Structure 1
Amino acid sequence: MAAYAALVSLMHIIDDLERHHSPPISLNKQQVQSLTENVMFLQEFLEAYISPVSDEADPLEMRIADAAYAAEDAIASHIVAKIQLSRSTEADISPVSDEADLEDPKTVSSNYDDDDDEEMNLFRDMQNVIQEMDQIKSLAMQRNTEKVVLHDTRRSFVSASSSTGKNSSGMVVWSEGVVNGILERLVSDQRERQVIPITGMGGIGKTTLAKTVYSKKIIEQRFDVCAWATISQQYNTREILCELVSQATKKTKEQLSEKSEDELELELYQHLIGRRFLIVMDDMWSIDAWDRIQRFFPENENCSRILVTTRLSHLSSQLNNNYSLQMEFLDEVRSWELFSKIVFGVGSCPHELEKIGKKIVENCRGLPLSIVVVAGILRNREHTLGVWESIRKNLASEVNLDNDKHCLKLLKMSYNHLPVYLKPCFLYIGLFEEDYSVRVSTLVKLWVSEGFLKPMNDKSLEIIAIEFLKDLIDRNLILVGEVGSTGNIKFVKIHDLLRDLCLNQSKKDGFYHVIGQSSPQGMSSQRRVVIPMNMPKKKVLDDLQSMPCARSIISEYVNVPRIKNSGLLRTLHAYNKFLYLEDESLIKSLASQYVNLRHLAVELGSMSSVFTSFTRFWNLHILIVSCWKEFTAPAEIWRMPQLRHIEMINGSFYLPKPSSDDVVVMENLLVLEGIANFKCSEEVVKRIPNIKKLCIYYLRRGGIEQDDYYCLKNIKRLCKLESLHVACWGDFAPYALTFPQSLKKLTLQMNRGFEWEKILEKIGALPFLEKFKLYMGCFGTGKWEMVEGQFPSLKYLELQWCPSLEHWTAESNSIFPRLEKLYLLEMEELKEIPTQIGDIPTLQKIWMFYCGESAVMCAKEIVEEQVELQGEDFPFHVRVWLRRKNEAVQSLASPNFEVICNSSN
């Protein structure tokens, strides 16, 4: 797996050098041909290779990986040397240099001599790698064909629908008695607060059972407050409190970010006191965690309940001496039922496979997670007797192992059966913290930057990454954590046992090293380094200094420490908080020394030092920077065609005007976020033809009288643009703004004087628009009159802070034909909403935050009409948030019309 990832990454570097308009070095063409042939052969070999080694690293794979790493290091090292030589030449020509402390300037003539030496050294180093790969190739060709996987690995990478995986992960596999038993405990009339523990081994379904009962309608009707928190082994009290307070009070975590732990404790206690609550504490590992948190749950004597899931039986007895539910393994009938539904869906098992299928299920020993994963393997394999017999034989060898050890061994089968191109992507998810929700966009950027993804069929690497992710979800190896408003997957998670598998396999292969853990490969050879949160500073510094081969740093650590061979680093990223560079000399060295970076995500006090040498990031793909100061990018940014994603957070970031002399087209640039006063001139349009996401804002400055100064009419020429966010501050009113037909997501935040009537017709005509957010601005007439045919594809509509809108009407019954979610925020003057909205067949919910009473009454009428037509079980739901108590509105509450008051006043 590490070998395959290294080969794909090496090919990316070769391609980058070959296609770059000004590569730092040039490779010998004959060497490139030989190296490419060897890499392609070894890739194909690994795609069909079955390792004879199970419990340790495969020597052949390690040798392949080492050869690929050697080639990468040789190329990267010579790039560093070449750039340093060019700096020396510059220093000799101009004696003033902000990098003078990094090296001693040489004479111009000696620089030329050194340049020739570098060319010779590069040729020699690459020749050594080619000779090593030739030997590996000969060895691979001698391998017995019995060690080749029999299935076809060259299948299409396009994943099957993930709906099957979704259904299988949420499938109820217990008897009605188990579910009803928990429900009876939760809704019983016993007034004192009760703790109800659910215990059992990992993977047996404790969390899924808790989610099943938690989502029941009777729970929603029974309890005033419901909240869920995951505890885990390394729990963080403040994060748990923040999660509970957020769910209980409906406040966002951003609203709670500034509150201390004591303030959160008090707010949670005050919100729960007097209310009947249900709190779920998922995955608890110690009584200490319970003792630390349980005091915030008041004893209201009103039938409040706390549901706890834990793997530890002794912990359940400490929580409740009288009752706990010990999860049992599934019996034969239910095991087969679960297996069959995952593999065949609504169909049935072919008669010729039923006997061997039941043997496979028997070897899973009733563990739901094992059944789900093994069934996921078989669902994606040929339904033939030979394939199933192969699976059965491998399972049988693991039958005598116990509990978690057995499960881990069993789950490893799912890893072994992954196509080789998916293995590095799957293992990479294990480097995130336990129970962490991984943002899909972040994961995709890292996969791309790490070089895991092999180009194919003219698809962008980002599209390939999403297909791979869906494939892993469909195999039940990754869980969907959160789905966005238009159905896209926003966050994913991984089960604890599967994460353990990732960590164990990565440790064995030397794929990545987590600081604080042991490594059988030793420290000096580690390529990827994970720095967990709360790791002591000395430990981080000591370990990094002993890892000269580190090429990626993934961290939650507060400050970025110096590392050896910084010029060879390719990924510098923090996945929860930005890494902060506080040392000015380190900031200066970032661009002058870290020249091989592909991925940079940091927080800086200033960008000036970095931009001084910005173009030395010769192969930078991802640039994500948080900086509170105002700065302008150097003009050279338009000569960096390898850039794929530019995102600026906080401060003001300005793009300079591209020079008409340059002809570089930034074909790879897909995302451009956080740019101030973006001028979409014809030159800019030509430079970014494939842009998909654009987030810009305008700060009105004196002397600019017409909105076409920013050439906003040209935005419609960005014909691949899918997501556009425009924010205008000051008195700037961009009526010249146009939109490409390709647009799917649109967010517009305008000043109070901007009249929406002048632009809404253009927006409503967009054929593929699925998500529209309208912030502030005004309606000059106080009305929004909708006409038939507008917004044909819209699924999500949000209106916020637009006090001038009083009447929202429709002249036709056919409006928003595909609308699913409507959010109205701070619309206090709104008196009516179109009654036709209730007739939209796809509508799922209307959420109203602090809106006028008249509009709320309209929503209630829509609900009543639909209840009368369809009954109370139809899926449409309205939720209303009140800033203060309103008895008239609160009295309207019903199962389909929820009213939440965030104030006791």
Structure 2
Amino acid sequence: MIELGKNMVKHCAGLPLAIVVLGGILATKKNSLIEWQKISDNVKSSLKRGKNQGPEDVLALSYDDLPPYLRPCFLYLSHFPEDYMIDVDRLIQLWVAEGIVSSKEEERDGGEIVEDVAESYLTELVERCMIQLRERNEAASEIRVTSKVKTIQMHDLMRDLCLSKAKQENFVFIVDGSNASSLSMIRKVRRVSVQVSFFIQCIKSPSIRSLLFFNQFFPEEALEKSLPLEVLNYVKKYYDDCCNPLFWILLILVGSTRYLKIRGFWRYMFNNFKLLRVLNYDKRRSYCFWLGWDLPSDIGNLIHLRFLSLKDHEFFLRKLPSSLGNLRCLQTLDLRVNFPEIHVPNVIWRMEQLRHLYLPSDCESSTKLNLGTLRKLLTLVNFNTKNCYLKDLINMTNLRELEINLPFNIENFKVSGENPPIIGSKYLHSLFIIDRAGESIDPTHLAHLLSNCTSICKLSIAADISKLPESHYSSHLAYIRLRWCKFEEDPMPTLEKLPNLRILEFEYTLGGKEMFCSAQGFPKLESLIFDQLGKLEDWKVDKGAMPSLQRLEITYCKRLKMLPEGLRFITTLKELKIESMLKAFKDKLEEGGEDFYKVQHVPSITFQNCG
């Protein structure tokens, strides 16, 4: 089998990707000589079919070897532009919305759900080396809380294969720089990926199911053609002259023309593509998409819509239409528009099929949403007690990920005595608490919240909190990230008692001058990060503390005098990274320095921007 493998590698002509992909194909086999011989024969026969064929044909074999259920998953990647970083959660939601991945039955008590099936399919594509990993959740060197992939990317050659196969299958129509200027009419297509701006009226297919935008859908040349060039040039020339009355008159003319054009594009979509399942505006560049004055109420015509994302986009009118309530088939709704204090009508409760809900980060005070009917919800982002009802969380029995955007206040809370449960899901594994408006969370309310989250393995708090609860933590907690906290007491004595904590991160945290890790504390901690702990001066570690630590990172803790003596007893430590620290701190740790004996057993020590 070794010789057979060597012969197959020769056919890859030294192309690393072809070798890796070939290895991915062989890895799916059961190491039987018959199966490997069959792959070898396929490689040889493929290369003999044409004069100009080469190692790229090995890549084509990877597609031919895919089982039927993986082929549409792979072809769907053709939607995304070149070098695009694909968010895995979003990709899975798109697969599910389009019915590319489905599960015949979702059991009520912990059975496999369709998102789990989709994630297993993605894992298979990764193992076959057909997509490249770019980022994992909770990445910390080689240490992982889970193996869940966060972002992926396609190699250029593999993307070329994907585009070629998608074109052969008429899987998706892609509007890009090669055809946008020549488009006059697009008919009989089910999916369209728009990667440059063009006239949406070119699409004449009433059966279209999927429409993904990766660029501004309003072409600027449409505006230029609708107004005299002199007007546009005058507006551009006097853009900074706020006292020029003619400028303001012409600016209003340009703005109203743009508004009418964009609104016309919206209404064309909402009234002509009534079978749409997916409508996504993806932010590809650093700027946001200005999508017009408002979201027309005609969006209520898209009653078959399963996926709608308006993330990072802007509307001038800070109010969403109540016709959104007609979209009762929605599974994913992303309303994280890039505009403060937008009003969301109380219609989301009608969308009982919702599985992933992303609310705006800042709703108007008049917004009050009933969400208790959303029993299928898996993801809820930007929940707060100002715009939502706390009691609704008890009905979300399938919730897996909850992000609370403060304020978070518990009604009828008793300082002593029993309080009613507020979390109804036993599957909740991730809890995020974020402060975006100068709010703080009452430590007693936080303690009660954590006591309800009995299954979480991931906790992230980015808020002004003075003290961590001493108990009420899930025994499953493996990852904790603390940001912007202002601890009045050392949090280590509380955190070191968590039996399964593996990753602990402090960022931009203010607290006391001292931290202490006692013997037998942090029994399974593998990664520890101190990033900008502004007041930390002295850190002590007892012998026997952190016996599993593998990675330590200290960044911009300018007041920290030295590393603790106890580090020399941590024989598992493999990586030490020191960044943006004082030169004196660095000199002590380098070979020959007075503290080098504390870290001389560490295989990898790196210094960056110290001096």
Q: State whether structure 2 residue 587 is matched by structure 1 residue 891.
A: yes
Q: State whether structure 2 residue 223 is matched by structure 1 residue 558.
A: no
For 1:840, the equivalent position in structure 2 comes to: 546
Distance 1:731 1:682 in 2: 17
**Contact map agreement 2:463 2:483 (CA 8 A) in 1:** yes
Cα deviation digits, residues 252-279 of structure 1 (max 9, x gap): xxxxxxxxxxxxxxxxxxxxxxxxxxxx
**Contact map agreement 2:11 2:55 (CA 8 A) in 1:** no
Cα deviation digits, residues 357-394 of structure 1 (max 9, x gap): 55544544454433332332232134445434433332
Cα deviation digits, residues 848-897 of structure 1 (max 9, x gap): 2322433x5125x455555xx68xxx623132323xxx332232353854
Amino acid corresponding to residue 91 of structure 2 in structure 1: L
Could you say what secondary structure the match of 2:471 adopts?
helix
CA change 1:657–1:436 in 2 (3 A) is closer
Cα deviation digits, residues 91-137 of structure 1 (max 9, x gap): xxxxxxxxxxxxxxxxxxxxxxxxxxxxxxxxxxxxxxxxxxxxxxx
For 2:506, the equivalent position in structure 1 comes to: 799
Which runs of no fewer than 5 residues in structure 1 stay unpaired? Answer: 1-348
CA RMSD in angstroms comes to 3.6
CA change 1:418–1:677 in 2 (3 A) is same
For 1:617, the equivalent position in structure 2 comes to: 327
Q: State whether structure 2 residue 209 is matched by structure 1 residue 501.
A: no
1:700-715 to structure 2, matched below 5 A, reads: 714-715=421-422
Could you say what secondary structure the match of 1:747 adopts?
strand
Distance 2:202 2:39 in 1: 42
Cα deviation digits, residues 489-514 of structure 1 (max 9, x gap): 21212221111000000011111111
For 1:876, the equivalent position in structure 2 comes to: 575
Amino acid corresponding to residue 396 of structure 1 in structure 2: K
2:308 corresponds to which of 573, 597, 600: 600
1:126-137 to structure 2, matched below 5 A, reads: none
Instruction: Report how far residue 411 of structure 1 moved.
Output: 1.2
Could you say what secondary structure the match of 1:398 adopts?
helix
Distance 1:788 1:673 in 2: 26
Cα deviation digits, residues 273-311 of structure 1 (max 9, x gap): xxxxxxxxxxxxxxxxxxxxxxxxxxxxxxxxxxxxxxx
Could you say what secondary structure the match of 1:424 adopts?
helix
For 2:244, the equivalent position in structure 1 comes to: none
For 1:743, the equivalent position in structure 2 comes to: 456
Distance 2:414 2:356 in 1: 27
Could you say what secondary structure the match of 2:320 adopts?
helix
CA change 1:826–1:407 in 2 (3 A) is same
**Contact map agreement 1:826 1:850 (CA 8 A) in 2:** yes
Distance 1:481 1:615 in 2: 37
For 2:109, the equivalent position in structure 1 comes to: none
Amino acid corresponding to residue 150 of structure 2 in structure 1: K
1:426-465 to structure 2, matched below 5 A, reads: 426-456=74-104, 458=106, 459-465=112-118
CA change 1:734–1:617 in 2 (3 A) is farther
Instruction: Report how far residue 450 of structure 1 moved.
Output: 1.8
Could you say what secondary structure the match of 2:188 adopts?
coil
CA change 1:806–1:700 in 2 (3 A) is same
Distance 1:788 1:615 in 2: 44
For 2:282, the equivalent position in structure 1 comes to: 575
Could you say what secondary structure the match of 2:162 adopts?
helix
CA change 1:836–1:439 in 2 (3 A) is farther
Instruction: Report how far residue 412 of structure 1 moved.
Output: 1.2
Cα deviation digits, residues 747-770 of structure 1 (max 9, x gap): 22333xx4315x14323xx21111
**Contact map agreement 2:206 2:275 (CA 8 A) in 1:** no
Distance 1:671 1:642 in 2: 12
Could you say what secondary structure the match of 1:695 adopts?
strand
Distance 2:387 2:345 in 1: 16
1:769 corresponds to which of 461, 477, 482: 477
Distance 2:137 2:585 in 1: 30
Bigger fraction of residues in helix = 1
CA change 1:716–1:816 in 2 (3 A) is farther
**Contact map agreement 1:784 1:805 (CA 8 A) in 2:** no
Amino acid corresponding to residue 745 of structure 1 in structure 2: K
Distance 1:792 1:863 in 2: 20
Amino acid corresponding to residue 891 of structure 1 in structure 2: D
Cα deviation digits, residues 152-199 of structure 1 (max 9, x gap): xxxxxxxxxxxxxxxxxxxxxxxxxxxxxxxxxxxxxxxxxxxxxxxx
1:569-718 to structure 2, matched below 5 A, reads: 569-577=276-284, 580=289, 582-584=291-293, 587-602=295-310, 603-605=313-315, 610-625=320-335, 626-652=337-363, 656=368, 658=370, 665-677=373-385, 683-699=391-407, 714-718=421-425
**More displaced stretch, 415-424 vs 403-412:** 403-412
Instruction: Report how far residue 841 of structure 1 moved.
Output: 4.5
TM-score of the aligned structures, taking structure 1 as reference length: 0.52
Amino acid corresponding to residue 748 of structure 1 in structure 2: I
Q: State whether structure 2 residue 134 is matched by structure 1 residue 481.
A: yes
Distance 1:426 1:686 in 2: 38
1:331-370 to structure 2, matched below 5 A, reads: 349=1, 360-370=8-18
Cα deviation digits, residues 520-571 of structure 1 (max 9, x gap): xx93122111122xx3x4xx21674344443212222124644552322221
Which runs of no fewer than 5 residues in structure 2 stay unpaired? Answer: 107-111, 139-144, 219-264, 591-602
Distance 1:657 1:531 in 2: 33
Amino acid corresponding to residue 401 of structure 2 in structure 1: K
Could you say what secondary structure the match of 2:528 adopts?
strand
**Contact map agreement 1:680 1:712 (CA 8 A) in 2:** no
Could you say what secondary structure the match of 1:857 adopts?
coil
Distance 1:579 1:552 in 2: 22
For 1:515, the equivalent position in structure 2 comes to: 175
**Contact map agreement 2:369 2:388 (CA 8 A) in 1:** no
1:540-555 to structure 2, matched below 5 A, reads: 540-541=198-199, 544-555=202-213
Distance 1:838 1:404 in 2: 64
Could you say what secondary structure the match of 1:786 adopts?
helix
Cα deviation digits, residues 691-725 of structure 1 (max 9, x gap): 11111122489x999698xx996345432211111
**More displaced stretch, 605-614 vs 742-751:** 605-614
For 2:250, the equivalent position in structure 1 comes to: none
Distance 2:494 2:381 in 1: 33
1:719-868 to structure 2, matched below 5 A, reads: 719-728=426-435, 729-730=438-439, 732-737=441-446, 738-739=449-450, 740-751=453-464, 754-757=465-468, 759-763=469-473, 766-780=474-488, 782-784=489-491, 786=493, 790-811=497-518, 813-836=519-542, 840-854=546-560, 857-858=562-563, 861=565
**Contact map agreement 1:679 1:712 (CA 8 A) in 2:** no
Cα deviation digits, residues 590-635 of structure 1 (max 9, x gap): 5233332211111242686534112111211111121423245434
Could you say what secondary structure the match of 1:694 adopts?
strand
Amino acid corresponding to residue 628 of structure 1 in structure 2: F
Could you say what secondary structure the match of 2:47 adopts?
coil
Distance 1:389 1:424 in 2: 27
Distance 1:613 1:421 in 2: 36
For 1:165, the equivalent position in structure 2 comes to: none
CA change 1:686–1:776 in 2 (3 A) is closer
**Contact map agreement 2:175 2:194 (CA 8 A) in 1:** yes
Could you say what secondary structure the match of 2:95 adopts?
helix
Could you say what secondary structure the match of 1:714 adopts?
coil
Instruction: Report how far residue 653 of structure 1 moved.
Output: 6.6
Amino acid corresponding to residue 806 of structure 1 in structure 2: K
Amino acid corresponding to residue 746 of structure 1 in structure 2: L
CA change 1:732–1:387 in 2 (3 A) is closer
Distance 2:51 2:499 in 1: 53
Instruction: Report how far residue 798 of structure 1 moved.
Output: 1.9
Instruction: Report how far residue 408 of structure 1 moved.
Output: 2.7
Distance 1:472 1:727 in 2: 34
TM-score of the aligned structures, taking structure 2 as reference length: 0.75
**Contact map agreement 2:577 2:605 (CA 8 A) in 1:** yes
Identical-pair percentage: 24
Cα deviation digits, residues 345-368 of structure 1 (max 9, x gap): xxxx4xxxx665555445444544
Could you say what secondary structure the match of 1:684 adopts?
helix
Distance 2:609 2:15 in 1: 43
